[in-house]
């Protein structure tokens, strides 16, 4: 027997604000019939196509910035660098540029609450690279 992940939980200081930000980045939505509202201490969002869920829970104090959560994102409809620019325009912060001159690599960013995440090359970009 095995377990499966029910959802991914992120500690934060403002659950509504951070869930709204990630909804824009991932194109997730509120749970049908259970909309998130300003002031909610817990906000869950869901990917309409896969049902993957993210839960944002307010805490009094955040642990180490590096250790709360880390996502690796793969763009679904654009190139890595185009997605980096889109997410930066939404308010992400640059942490480290790990992109290489041959097109490989990734970009390390942080969401408005300081949670780090990486943007990798799209499936199409990886398929076009020689191995």
Residues 5 and 54 sit within 8 Å (Cβ to Cβ): no
Calculate mean pLDDT across residues 113-127.
Answer: 89
- CA torsion sign for 31, 63, 92, 74 is negative
Q: What is the pLDDT of residues 19-46, one digit of tens each?
A: 999 999 999 999 999 999 999 999 999 9
Q: What is the pLDDT of residues 46-62, one digit of tens each?
A: 999 998 999 999 988 87
pLDDT score of 131: 39
> How far is 129 from 23, CA to CA, in rounded Å?
31
Calculate mean pLDDT across residues 109-125.
Answer: 90
pLDDT score of 38: 97
pLDDT score of 69: 73
Q: What is the pLDDT of residues 63-92, one digit of tens each?
A: 765 656 778 889 989 999 999 999 999 999
pLDDT score of 11: 87
Phi, psi of 104 (to 5 degrees): -80, 180
Spell out the domains of the chain, with CATH numbers in brackets. 7-59 (3.30.720), 69-131 (3.10.180.10)
pLDDT score of 35: 94
- CA torsion sign for 58, 64, 65, 69 is negative
Name the token pair of 63.
């642990």
């Amino acid at each position: 027997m095995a377990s499966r992940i029910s959802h991914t939980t992120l500690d934060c200081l403002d659950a509504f604000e951070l869930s709204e930000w990630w909804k824009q980045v991932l194109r997730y939505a509120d749970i049908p019939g259970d909309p998130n509202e300003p002031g909610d201490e817990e906000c869950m969002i869901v990917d309409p196509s896969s049902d993957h869920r993210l839960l944002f829970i307010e805490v009094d104090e955040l642990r180490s910035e590096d250790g709360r959560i880390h996502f690796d994102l793969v763009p679904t409809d654009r190139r890595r660098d185009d997605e980096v620019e889109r997410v930066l325009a939404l308010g992400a912060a640059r942490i480290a540029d790990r992109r290489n001159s041959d097109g490989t690599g990734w970009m390390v960013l942080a969401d408005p609450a300081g949670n780090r995440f990486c943007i990798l090359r799209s499936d199409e970009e990886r398929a076009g690279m020689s191995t």
